[in-house]
Amino acid sequence: AAVMARLPAPEELAHLASRLVAVEVQQEKRCLYPDAGIVATLEKIPARQRLFLSDFYMSAPVVAEFIEQAGLAKLVPAGLTSCDVSLNKRTGRLFRKVEEDTGIAPSHHLHIGDNEYSDYFIPRKLGLSADHYSSKDELAKTQRFAREYAGRDGQRRFAPKELSALTHLRPDECD
């Protein structure tokens, strides 16, 4: 009860939460960049419609802002996130939601993603075509940083600049 008495008023908490989200979105936009490999991959595949499907914890409009910032809105103009519909790719329910919303049959749906389980095995199990996307450059960065910042006890330790590379950020702009 004593802790609750010291909390700010609900309106103040809501304002603070909103401000924190705005700062996080601003920082993400400052640091993100397009993966050249996925751009080339998407440009090679003809499609009547492209959508992003993301298990990201922010809304589809925010993800669309990130895509716009990265210069990819022409390739992937819209989509869905787990956050918006309380469904995810891991269970397959987000794929089913897209099919229901768009009328696209699984046999006409190609999904490309970097998570071998959620983006490849699950869609294939549901009858979709799927490609597992893996960027050798990004994987090499991740492995290098893991080696460089391993602690003496073998636990991984990441400095903020290096952690940003693991999340496809430009470390030089994220100080």
DSSP 9: P
Q: How far is CA 20 from CA 12, 66, 123, 169, 170, in A?
A: 12, 17, 34, 19, 21
User: Does pLDDT of 126 surpass 80?
Assistant: yes
pLDDT tens digit sequence for 78-124: 999 999 999 999 999 999 999 999 999 999 999 999 889 999 999 99
What pTM, to 2 d.p., does this model score? 0.74
Q: Which residues have a Cβ under 8 Å from the Cβ of 103 and sit 6 or more positions away?
A: none
